Amino acid sequence: MANFVSLDNLINPTNADAMRAALKSSGCSSTSSCGSSAGAGDLPPEVWDRIKDHPCYSEEAHHYFARMHVAVAPACNIQCHYCNRKYDCANESRPGVVSEKLTPEQALRKVITVANKVPQLSVLGIAGPGDACYDWKKTEETFSLVSREIPDIKLCISTNGLALPEHVDELADMNVEHVTITINMVDPAIGARIYPWIFHEHKRFTGLEASQRLHERQMQGLEMLTAAGILTKINSVMIPGINDEHLKVVNAEVKKRGAFLHNIMPLISDPAHGTHFGLTGQRGPRHAELKALQDACAGGANLMRHCRQCRADAVGLLGEDRGQEFTLDQVAEKVAYDPSQRQAYRAVVARERADHGAAKQDARIVLGATDSDASILVAVATKGGGRINQHFGHAKEFQIYEASSRGIVFVGHRKVADAYCQGGFGEDASLDSVIVTLEGLDIVLCSKIGDCPKGQLENAGIRVSDEWAYEYIESAISAHYAREHGAVLQARSA
């Protein structure tokens, strides 16, 4: 096995010295000179610098960095047919859902508490549970309080766009470099099927007029953000039969106006949520439909494929939610920020990233040496750090990669209803649902799996391997691909 620093090594030590010790004892032999740009890709350096710690704006960063949302903005000025903010369940992950709303002062204490305990924290987002721009005073006050205490935390908001234009200057002044607008249409006739009403300039609008106004404000807001140099991400909810084909047009239109990223997310629809779409039986897209739409948009605005559709009070790496560890009753009345953990973690990640970059480069060489047209889909169980470091039975989601001789691309994730292992024992009922979730994939890579579930998965036609436990994801996938498709493994060039 290659030398490595596991994510557990990085985050479990309780102080900065312990983190450094973990790095020192890892025996990692690579140096930054053998590393590639480690995810910088072909972005201008100044842009990479602004996204390299943002888990939503950089797929690579989401292996290392965490965001937290504070639910300070409950009021909303529009109604979306997929939203019902009254419903809450601590186990549920979808936008608009929170367990408790916070005042800006409570939010500050919570952010400091999380920053002291979660060294991966890099971004503070306000994503409702209503609209961050409409409930502006609380958004503004929260950002101002937090940035005074933790100046290096990135500030990020998500908005429906209706109240955005009047706040763009203030966002730029507050150094908010990342804004998300949810744009589901550029055709008001389609919008009328998604938005029953909006509230604007002290009046309520319905039907086509409502969607027309919303559309105009969204486009204006996007253009203003682009002009202000703010990196804007567009979130779109894919609603089969309503806006699925239309989102290709949305992709082109937002690209034209300078959007940095386009995140096409599946509609979450369940009658139990009490949303209009849930109650009327509007279905969400299947995995393959979502992927086909994302693939069809390739070449337009850059796509984000690693979104986890977070709750408005989410805390942690994107694939996990530690919000329940930081409810208000667990936050002290008096808190003081201690930057040492976050600083030490960043130093460790810088080293780890260089090594990961080198591994990715090696993987590209291995794949490029194959002589095959095959394209395979690989599911990975990971706790972060870009490694295969999670037991099959503990995985609540699998990250999905597509590999071919052209390279390895992250194409999404699949959540499982319940992890297979419950309280130390495998659950057959959970395994059945995991098997359905993994349908259509070529192989699952994890750090460990028992013979019994492995056999049952293989009977269902799904291969699983723990041969590459704790390796980098790309190293493992390329080695598997090369073995199956006839390449000769090449040694890393020094």
Footprint of ligand CLF on this chain (CB under 6 A)? 56, 67, 69, 123, 125, 127, 156, 158, 178, 180, 233, 263, 307-310, 318
Q: Helix or strand or coil: residue 471?
A: coil
The secondary element (H helix, E strand) that includes residue 190 is helix 188-191
76 binds, among ligand CLF, ligand SF4, none (CB under 5 to 8 A by kind): ligand SF4
Q: How far is the CB of 269 from ligand SF4 (least distance, A)?
A: 13
Q: How far is the CB of 414 from ligand SF4 (least distance, A)?
A: 23
**112-141: which residues touch ligand SF4 (CB under 6 A)?**
128, 130-131
Nearest-10 crossing angle of helices 473-485, 340-368: 10
Closer residue to ligand SF4, CB minimum distance, 79 or 93: 79
Closer residue to ligand CLF, CB minimum distance, 124 or 434: 124
- How many Cβ atoms from other residues are within 10 Å of residue 150's Cβ? 17
Q: Helix or strand or coil: residue 293?
A: helix
Binding mask 190-209 toward ligand SF4 (x if CB under 6 A, else -) reads --------------------
Q: How far is the CB of 69 from ligand CLF (least distance, A)?
A: 6
Q: Tell me the residue number closest to ligand SF4, measured at CB.
A: 83
Q: Per the structure block, which two tokens stand in for 209?
A: 């007029």
Q: Per the structure block, which two tokens stand in for 484?
A: 């199956």
CA distance 167 to 390: 43
Q: Does 181 bind ligand SF4 (CB under 6 A)?
A: no
| Cα 474 off chain centre by | 19
308 binds, among ligand CLF, ligand SF4, none (CB under 5 to 8 A by kind): ligand CLF
Query: From the list 68, 83, 112, 431, which residue makes contact with ligand SF4 (rule: CB under 6 A)?
Result: 83
Q: Does 79 bind ligand SF4 (CB under 6 A)?
A: yes
Report the alpha-carbon angle 411-417-423, nearest 5: 120
Report the alpha-carbon angle 39-43-49, nearest 5: 70
Query: From the list 16, 72, 76, 441, which residue makes contact with ligand SF4 (rule: CB under 6 A)?
Result: 76
Q: How far is the CB of 220 from ligand SF4 (least distance, A)?
A: 17
Residues 6+ apart with CB under 8 A from 458: 464
CA distance 481 to 474: 10
Which residue type is seen at 479? A
Closer residue to ligand SF4, CB minimum distance, 75 or 369: 75
Q: Helix or strand or coil: residue 72?
A: coil
CA distance 376 to 398: 15
* Distance from the first to the final alpha carbon of the chain: 18
238 binds, among ligand CLF, ligand SF4, none (CB under 5 to 8 A by kind): none
Which of 52-60, 77-85, 332-340, 402-410 is the region at the interface with ligand SF4 (rule: CB under 6 A)?
A: 77-85
Which residue type is seen at 455? G
Handedness of CA 106, 110, 111, 113 (dihedral sign): positive
Query: From the list 39, 55, 96, 278, which residue makes contact with ligand SF4 (rule: CB under 6 A)?
Result: 96
311 binds, among ligand CLF, ligand SF4, none (CB under 5 to 8 A by kind): none
- Asked whether 317 and 306 are in contact (CB, 8 A), the reply is no
Query: From the list 19, 23, 72, 78, which residue makes contact with ligand SF4 (rule: CB under 6 A)?
Result: 78
96 binds, among ligand CLF, ligand SF4, none (CB under 5 to 8 A by kind): ligand SF4
CA distance 53 to 60: 9
Nearest-10 crossing angle of helices 246-256, 287-296: 40
376 binds, among ligand SF4, ligand CLF, none (CB under 5 to 8 A by kind): none
Q: How far is the CB of 95 from ligand CLF (least distance, A)?
A: 6
Q: Does 321 bind ligand SF4 (CB under 6 A)?
A: no
Tell me which residues touch ligand SF4 (CB under 6 A).
Answer: 76, 78-80, 83, 85, 95-96, 128, 130-131, 160
